[in-house]
Each structure stands twice: as C-alpha cells, then as structure tokens.
Amino acid sequence: MAKKDSEITTSLLPRLDRLPWSSWHWKVWFILAGGMLLEGFVLSVGGSTLSTVEKLFSLTSEETVALTPIFLVGEMIGGIYLGSMADIRGRKQLFIITMAIIAGGSLLSAVSVDYPMLALSRAIAGFGIGGELGSAIAALEEFSPSKNRGFSVGTGNGVMFDFGTFIAGFVSFFAIAYLPVSFGWRIAFLTAFVLAGFIFVARLDLPESVRYLLRKGKIKEAEDIVDGIEAEVKKTGKKLSDVAATVNIPTDVGKATASEGFSVIFKKYKKRIALSWILNFCETWPYYAAFSIIPLIFTNIYHIPSKDTGLILSVVLGAGVLGVLVWAFLLDIIGRRPVIMITYIVAGVVAIILGIVVHSIDFVVFIAILSLMYFFTYAAAALLYPQIGEMFPTRARGSGLGTAIGFGRLGGIIGPFVLLALLNYGLLYVFVVTGVVLIIGGIAEVVLGPELKRESLEKASNDT
C-alpha cells in the first residue's frame, strides 16, 4: 500500500469485496440491523399506547394524532444532521451515539408526567432514529461484500423494521392488557430503553468502517481490521482467493465540517440526491398509511372490531415482509433499477385497481388485494436504501442517506393527513392518490436511477 499526495492506492477494499458471506458478516448484520428493529419498535410502541396516553393525560384528538408527526419531525432533523456527522466523526461513533439518544428518549417517554414532556421525549427518540439510519446503513453498506450488498442492506432495513413492529405489538398488548393502566404503557417504553441498551453494548465491539478509516488516512488501523475479518472467515474453513487488484481513493485528513458532505452531494450528485428524495417521499406516504389510515378503514368502513384490526393488519404486513425477502434477493440478481421500478409501479397500479373496485368486493377480497399491494409496497420502501447508499461516496454517504431519510419523512408526515381528508370523499380517492404517488417514484427510478448491481462502492459512486 502506498500513500501519494491526497490519494491512497490500496488492495484493502477489493479484499473486503471478495469475501464470502460468513458468520462475521451475520454478526455485523444483526447488530447494525438491530437499529432498524428498534425504529420499528419505538414507532409502533408510540402508536400502540396512544389511546391509553390520550385518556391518562386527558388529551384532545389533535394532540394525540400530533405525537406521530412530532416523532417523524425529530427523525427528519436527526437524519439530516446526524447523517452528516457520520461522515465527519465516523460510522462507529455515530451508530453508538444515536443508540444512546434513542435509549434516552425512550426512558424519558416512560417517565413522562405530562404531554409536553412526552412530546419532547418522542422527538428526541425520533432524532436518534433518524441519525441511526444514516450511520448504521452506511456502515452496513461498507462492510457488505458487493455481491451480497443488495440483500444485506435491503433485508436489514425492511425485515428487521417489521420484526420490531411485531415485537412492539406483542409487548404493548400484554403491558396494557395485564398491567395497571397507570404504568403498563410505561413498561412498553421501558422495553425500548432496554433493547437500545443491549444494542448499544453490542455495538461497542464492532470495528470502524474500513472505508472511513482509509478516507481519513488511518491505514494501519484499516489493515488490522481487514486482517482480522479475513482471519475470522478462514476459521470457518472457507478459502480466500488472492487479490492483486488495487483501487485509488482520495483521502481527507484535514478537519471536516458539517457542510462538506452536503457540498459534495449537491454539487456533484444533483440527479442522484433528487432521485433519493423522490423515492423516499413516495415510499413513506403509503408505508406510514399502513399504521394510521388502514386501521381506520377496517373499523369505520368495514366495521371490524378494533380488537381485531391488529391481527388483520399483521396479515397485510406479513405479505409485505415476504415481498421484501423476495425482491431483496432479486436486487443482486436482476439489478437495482428493474426491482425498484417494478415494486413502485406495480404497487401503484394495484392501489389504483383496488380504489376502483373497492366498493364492489367483500372484505376478504379487499384484504387479498391489499396484501398484494403491500407485497410490492414494503419491498419498495426497503429496497431503495441499498441503491441510495451506493450512489454517494464515502465522504458523503452518511449525508446522502441522512438527507434522503429526512426529506422522505415528509411523506410520512403529510401522507396520513392527506389520506385522512380524502377518506371523507371515499376509498377511491385514498387508493388512487396513493397509487399515483407510488408510480411517480417508479418513473423517477426509470429516468434517474443508475444500475449499481454488484459494483464496488467506489465504482458505483464514481469516486475512484
């Protein structure tokens, strides 16, 4: 390895990319994807405890509904600010700090004594979650071998989030149903605090991103990490091929500023950041509708008892998880562009068809078509992240992911309110508008999306 001026010639990154998937990668996947599990848990616990909190704190319906947007606003700010900090301070420092913030916000939620304190604590938890996604997804991208990166990041984001919502529903049900009302909901939030604590401790043992270290000129530290990973892989009996290839990467050993990553993405990657914003906005719109509008459709339109809505919704979301697994596998087979295009556009078309036929079908058929819609919608929501992380260089990957996450949360904030208003005019408008939003995302991928399947991150971001 040689260092020349502001560029490093190294074989470390080709050595990382040629590694077979191993138990070491699984360990990193579980610990980093635990942040996505926690996002689903924290968001779902907030929703599951709303009715209890509303009664105990004597809230108006507007105050109650506002708690979810408050959480998402915190997530938006955290994604933008803390995502950029991951490019300055490193992936490891940020994915540990964000876990501490989430733990603190969850603990404050559990001990809240009034509405302002609860709203503030939810915003703090959301702030940590937003930064968590930018730093943890960046790290997961940078440790995953190029041939497995689509499946690794796609399932780490999508499947683990949904697993978190499942656990939250289970915990919230028993905490509220079998414990005194006055503190059962607090136990649910304390569970989030405990989970965050476990993930925090587990992450202390993870290494810093090799790509980040090389970017900062910390060559020996990067070499030691790659040597250690290769030793772990060899212990499993897998043989590693020799690597003669090298890659030239720029270094930045000076003191970086928070604006540097934004400067890179807005000057050199205008089309890519526009694509990432559009894709995020168009997926959070129907994604968060699943937790806010669809349960209302069950109870208000089809007169399903509220106690049964969670079980029925789990069928729909289960179809979504299956969709994530299927399409995440295909990301590394047929490519990013076709998978993202298909999932967005087909989800949109199914939504429009559902809106057209909804008043002429019974509830069972409605659920079947809705499940088909979310088979594609959940995949669309999860599988844009591998591409987004690949589109930006190491020096701005956290910033690119963070701004995309931040802007995308506007869809989650605006969408449910728009759909709630449209619900007064009929289900046709709810599903047709949702379908159009999804199709716009698919068209954006067709027009702007680069194909980065199995490319090294350096080649994918044009930063070699």
* pLDDT-derived band at 376, boundaries 50, 70, 90: very high
| Paired tokens of 51 | 């009715």
Distance in angstroms (rounded) separating the CA atoms of residues 188 and 428: 37
**Residue range 326-353, pLDDT digits in tens:** 999 999 999 999 999 999 999 999 999 9
User: What is residue 387's predicted lDDT score, i.e. its pLDDT?
Assistant: 94
What pLDDT is stored for residue 310 in this prediction?
65
pLDDT of residue 1: 46
Residue 300, pLDDT > 90, answer no
Spatial separation of the C-alpha atoms in residues 374 and 377, rounded to whole Å: 4
pTM given for the model: 0.87
Q: Name the residue with tokens 């950029």.
A: 84
Instruction: Give percent of the chain above pLDDT 70.
Output: 95
246-280: pLDDT as tens digits: 888 888 766 666 667 888 898 899 999 999 999 99
pLDDT digit string (tens) for 76-130? 999 999 999 999 999 999 999 999 999 999 999 999 999 999 999 999 999 999 9
In this prediction, residue 333 carries a pLDDT of 94
